[in-house]
Amino acid sequence: MKSKNLDMPKSILLIVGVLVAGLVIGGVFSATGEAVRKIGDPGGGTGTTTTIFPNIKVTTDLDIDVEPAIFNNKVIWTNECCTIFTTQDRGIPLSNIDFCDISLNGKIGGCLAGDTKLRIERARYIFTSVYQNFQPDVYENRIVWTQRKGNDLNIMMCDLSKNGQVGGCLTNDAKDQITSSFPNVTQVDPAIYNNIIVWRDITNSNWDIYRCDLTKNGQVGGCLTNNPKTRVTNSTSAQINPDIYENTIIWVDNNFNGKVAIFMCDLTKNGQPGGCLVGDSKTLVHSSNYFFDHPKIQGNLIVWSDSVRTLPGTSEIDNDIFMCDLTKNGQPGGCLVGDSKTQVTSTGQQDIPDVYGNVIVWSSWPDYQYNHNSPNNIFMCNILLNGNKGGCLANDEKIQLSYTTNSNWKTAKIYGNNIIWTDERNGNVDLYMTQI
Ligand SMILES: [Ca+2]
Ligand SMILES: [Ca+2]
Ligand SMILES: [Ca+2]
Ligand SMILES: [Ca+2]
């Protein structure tokens, strides 16, 4: 369960302990054989950070394992394998939804490299159409994803507690189709929190955010295939990439007065300014000339990447991680458009953040400005360490979690003490994880 204002005293003690221990044993090898290296994020501060967070391999296959999502111990991702050739779908790779459970590590269904992973939905070839699966998200026992079948894309769902029955998550269980196939209208990018599923939808000829409520199944606003779904936005620009936490939905608007913007709405304010009904005015969080990709919300924090400058000595954009805190609305650090936002990183390229509790993770390319082939790795900070090593202020030295040498952006997701990310250290895209 995702709890509000979650703090993690245990992990803070661990981080501090690790930093202290790291100062003592820096330069040796950890128990798992991962090299312990002293590498500081040139993103700020002085000195070096030592990490001993072991990098645990999750997938070992030669397939492309991407788009991880995590809730409690449940990890889900998109597995892209082998390319097939048909008349309609020439050269499109097959994509499956795979799953493992950290609490089953060492057993079937666990997340260690040697554990057999579970396939929730596989790519299928039906009536000359390839069924592809991607963009998974998970909340408690419910898993949602996007399925493409020919020209029709839909939001799908299964429930692990129904395994072996209709609506369950075993490979051969019939899954629930949330959105309609008729006409062939595209719905993609789902996110789920509790009973609410949100996605982007092109029913009205431009992208809008839509939602449904599982507690209203069978009625208007429910999540059964034929239930009329609830429209959230109606601006003629594209509203995309939604996320949801408790009653707050956030998304990106790709053309708000010529800029890219992050908006939010609050389901408890429905029918009033700031509510999520289609007629309610939505709340502007931030706008920029830079594209945000996926902003994320958890607890009181919203995180995103933005660019406010160029890299020193170049004309290239310098990406940074930014955050705001809903409890500070109306003050510096709050999430209203007039509030100054908090810059988390500094020099180098940083993108694709995620947040849980007081911890923010992201993909960082510290030496990008000097060498575009230099390593890109996963870094983290903890707000409770602000002003110190590991803190989330722009000049605080950050903590490096992964050690790979390739320069591709990585996607990290965090839940509790578990952080999972895409990693190409073995030549194909795998998932790795660590525990903080
Ligand atoms: Ca559809
Ligand atoms: Ca729109
Ligand atoms: Ca930067
Ligand atoms: Ca792989």
| Interval 367-390: pLDDT, tens | 988 898 999 999 999 999 999 999
Q: What residues does each domain of the chain span?
A: 72-193
CA of 186 to the centre of ligand 3 (A): 35
- Of 424, 341, 420, which is closest to residue 380 (Cα–Cα)? 420
Q: What is the band of 13 on the pLDDT scale with cuts at 50, 70, 90?
A: very low
CA of 363 to the centre of ligand 2 (A): 29
Please name which ligand lies nearest the alpha carbon of 148: 1
- What's the pLDDT tens digit per position in 248-294? 999 999 999 999 999 999 999 999 999 999 999 999 999 998 877 78
CA of 345 to the centre of ligand 3 (A): 6
Alpha carbons within 13 A on the beta-carbon side of 162? 16
- Name the one residue in this structure whose structure tokens are 């889900």: 76
CA of 223 to the centre of ligand 1 (A): 13
- Name the one residue in this structure whose structure tokens are 């009205």: 204
Please name which ligand lies nearest the alpha carbon of 151: 1
CA of 413 to the centre of ligand 3 (A): 20
Q: Please list all protein residues whose beta carbon sits less than 5 angstroms from ligand 3, which is an ion.
A: 318, 320, 345, 350
CA of 181 to the centre of ligand 1 (A): 4
Give the angle subtended at the CA of 404 by the CAs of 399 and 408, to the nearest 5°. 100
- Residue 12: the pLDDT is 35
Q: What is the mean pLDDT of residues 8-20?
A: 36
Which residues, 6+ apart, have CB-to-CB distance to 257 below 8 Å?
287
Alpha carbons within 13 A on the beta-carbon side of 132? 20
DSSP state of 164: T
CA of 120 to the centre of ligand 4 (A): 17
Q: Please list all protein residues whose beta carbon sits less than 5 angstroms from ligand 1, which is an ion.
A: 152, 154, 179, 185
Give burial (CB, 10 Å; 0-12/13-18/19+) of 294: buried
Please name which ligand lies nearest the alpha carbon of 429: 4
Q: How far out from the chain centre does Cα 19 lie? A: 27
Dihedral angle of Cα 106, 111, 114, 115, to the nearest 10 degrees: 70
Q: Please list all protein residues whose beta carbon sits less than 5 angstroms from ligand 4, which is an ion.
A: 59, 61, 63, 65, 428, 430
Q: What is the mean pLDDT of residues 300-328?
A: 91
Please name which ligand lies nearest the alpha carbon of 210: 2
Q: b/e string for 211-250 if b means 16 or more Cβ within 10 A?
A: bbbbeeeeeeebbeeebebbbbbeeebbbbbbbbbbebbb
CA of 332 to the centre of ligand 2 (A): 30
- Residue 151: the pLDDT is 86
- 382-to-14, 58, 292 alpha-carbon distances in Å: 12, 25, 22
Q: What pTM was estimated for this model as a whole?
A: 0.87
Please name which ligand lies nearest the alpha carbon of 321: 3
- What's the pLDDT tens digit per position in 51-67? 578 999 999 888 999 99
Which residues, 6+ apart, have CB-to-CB distance to 187 below 8 Å?
146, 153, 154, 155, 178, 179, 199, 200, 201, 202, 210
Q: How far out from the chain centre does Cα 235 lie? A: 25
Please name which ligand lies nearest the alpha carbon of 347: 3
CA of 71 to the centre of ligand 4 (A): 21
Q: Are 149 and 179 in contact (CB under 8 A)?
A: no
